[in-house]
Amino acid sequence: VTLRAAHDSDYLYFLLDRLDNNLSKSGDNTEIYFSTDSGATRYKLTVSAAGSVALQKSTDGGSNYTTVGANVRAGMTISGDFDNVADDEGYLAEIAIPKSALTMDKSSAVYADVTLCNTDGSTAYSAERMFDLVTDGDLTKCGKIVLK
């Protein structure tokens, strides 16, 4: 997976490029865990291969998440055909999150942790985490995106 971020005065943007040679509508999700205020508040952005996007927020270190009622906008391009391995290449998602829905401090950075959730056409489910924001809260192990 490749994750890029940008921002303007109103939105935080993510560009997510996921390679997957076996796309499934019901299980091939990418979860972006991120913090905008040095870890006190954590967000979970779930992007499904089917095109749905959900934003959740935790203020207790990531144990409990509640849905954020923000107007998150997303555009999705699928490279392939669901459950047809011969054609599947992955998906590209562009996501815009209103900054007004996020707790932002003056650190001018976003710390991100990406989890790939995968079914590969079966009921077996696996997840692979790139960093460790979810498990131990150590932001130094996460990808740091500097907002200037």
Per-position pLDDT tens, the chain of length 148? 888 888 888 899 999 998 877 777 777 888 888 887 666 788 899 998 888 899 999 888 777 889 998 899 999 888 877 767 777 888 889 999 998 898 876 556 777 888 877 776 555 545 555 444 444 555 556 666 666 5
Q: Which whole-number Å values give the CA distances from 77 to 15, 19, 95, 120, 147, in the listed order?
A: 11, 12, 12, 19, 26
pTM of the model: 0.81
For 101, the 3-state DSSP assignment is helix
For 141, the 3-state DSSP assignment is helix
Closest-CA residue to 114 (of 21, 41, 46): 46
Cβ count within 10 A of residue 49: 26
